[in-house]
Structure 1
Amino acid sequence: MNTTPAQLDHLVLATPDLAGTVADFARRTGVTPAPGGVHVGLGTRNHLVSLGGSAYLEIIGPDPEQAGHDGPRPFAVDVLPVPRTVTWAIHPADLDATIATARARGYDPGPARPMSRRTPEGTLLSWRLTDGTDAHPSGLVPFLIDWGASPHPSASGLPVTPLLALTATTPDPDGLRPLLAALDVELPLSEGPVGMRFTVETPHGPVSFD
């Protein structure tokens, strides 16, 4: 059963070893993630896989060419002991209106801020997203993204592993559901340690990642 949230933009699989995680994904699925690009000044780069439709998987880790980066890198890739699905993003039709509505409902996703990365072909992609430092610390409440005039990453001919399911565990499912509802999204939740799991269809059959 496909439980993909309607507004899903992408899942974030963070790793301390980008090359190793990309190779592991390719081995397990039979599909090799495509180079995404470099987050200049943030010390990270990514590889991408389409999840079907306008959703994709971002595998993000330290950029070896930015080894001198000073300060923490996004998604704590400096300190993660192993690869982990850390959070997810949605693309509402109106980013600013969705932020305002969520605040009125009692959840503040944080302000929208500009970001960018350069693709391997040299194209600069620019977007706005809500500030992760203000988001729910579990990562289970999605951040919001608006790609503006930039082409969506899923439209760049990515290799495809269709998303079959996305679920999460948390010590307090009932406490998290109202925050998801404030953003008009649903995520199947069960009680347990904080974590996310997604399952994709692959040439090797369904494969799950935590």
Structure 2
Amino acid sequence: MLALDHIVLAGENIEESSTKYGRKFAIKAIKGGEHEEWGTYNYLAYFSNESYIEWLGIQDYEKANTSNNPLIQHLVHNLDKQIVGPFQFALRTNEMDHYIDHFNAKNIPFKGPFFGQRERPDGTNLTWRMLFPSYDYTREMLPFLIEWGSSIGSKGPSVDSLSNPQAIMKINYGGIDREKFEHIYQLKPKRLLKKQFALQNSTIIFNEKNNFTFDLV
């Protein structure tokens, strides 16, 4: 089963944004690192249900603007339009190759997988792969799949000593057809609640509006 890995927030000054968010919700965010290939950097806040928030910003606009990574393209679009805040989320899997086979077999258009890496402040290297069902980021959003390197495992890059006690328990999501969502991600709704999809560590709740929010409790 898929798990919620993280929520991505766009920001022009992500250090300031993460600090303000931390004061408002009593959470601690830390500097993540730099993605040299994409011209981006991030701040992170880890939570008790093995998920986290990522504030993603641009430090080299030329690199970011020419990236073929759909997440970076989406980020550039939003910041060009001065749209900040949550705009994407990642679903964690240990079976990315299975999803690649599934997408190919069912003629589901996709991009990737994209290899990512960054150096943590402590000097250790973090690696991952990302897979994107194709979508038009100017009007919609489909969550992407992420698979962490073997040294990280199924829990993602969480750091227990830095985790906040809160958890992201609900994702409110809409804007696409629910059956299409089921087909792409091979998820089934709860038996009595057809608009809810259970993840390993959270719940996706479909709404009729084209919006995306989350509940931190």
Partner of 1:165: 170
- Structure 1 residue 158: deviation in Å? 2.8
Deviates more, 1:29-38 or 1:135-144: 135-144
Unaligned runs of 5+ in 1: 202-210
Could you tell me which amino acid in structure 2 is paired with residue 24 of structure 1?
Answer: K
Partner of 1:98: 99
Partner of 1:182: 184
Change (3 A) 1:188 1:109: farther
Q: Distance in 2 between matches of 1:13 and 1:58?
A: 6
Q: Distance in 1 between matches of 2:136 and 2:97?
A: 18
Q: Distance in 2 between matches of 1:156 and 1:135?
A: 34
Partner of 2:48: 52
TM-score, length-normalised on structure 2?
A: 0.75
Is the contact made by 1:127 and 1:150 (CA closer than 8 Å) also made in structure 2?
A: no
CA-atom RMSD, angstroms?
2.5
Could you tell me which amino acid in structure 1 is paired with residue 179 of structure 2?
Answer: R
TM-score, length-normalised on structure 1?
A: 0.77
- Structure 1 residue 169: deviation in Å? 3.1
- Structure 1 residue 107: deviation in Å? 2.4
Change (3 A) 1:110 1:179: farther
**How big is each residue's C-alpha offset from its partner over 1:165-209, in whole Å with a ceiling of 9 and x where there is no partner?**
210232xx4x253234321243322222x32101112xxxxxxxx
Partner of 2:144: 143
Change (3 A) 1:6 1:98: closer
Among 165, 186, 198, the alignment partner of 2:214 is 198
Structure 1 stretches (4+) deviating beyond 6 angstroms? none
Q: How many residues align?
A: 189
Could you tell me which amino acid in structure 2 is paired with residue 39 of structure 1?
Answer: H
Partner of 2:117: 116
Change (3 A) 1:18 1:131: same
Q: Distance in 1 between matches of 2:81 and 2:147?
A: 27
Q: Distance in 1 between matches of 2:213 and 2:7?
A: 10
Is the contact made by 1:34 and 1:47 (CA closer than 8 Å) also made in structure 2?
A: yes
Is the contact made by 1:88 and 1:139 (CA closer than 8 Å) also made in structure 2?
A: no
What SS does the corresponding residue of 2:22 show, helix, strand or coil?
helix
Could you tell me which amino acid in structure 1 is paired with residue 180 of structure 2?
Answer: P
Unaligned runs of 5+ in 2: 188-196, 198-203
Q: Distance in 2 between matches of 1:20 and 1:82?
A: 16
Is the contact made by 2:2 and 2:92 (CA closer than 8 Å) also made in structure 1?
A: no
**How big is each residue's C-alpha offset from its partner over 1:3-51, in whole Å with a ceiling of 9 and x where there is no partner?**
xx95211111111221221122112111121111111132211111123
Could you tell me which amino acid in structure 2 is paired with residue 159 of structure 1?
Answer: S
Could you tell me which amino acid in structure 2 is paired with residue 165 of structure 1?
Answer: K
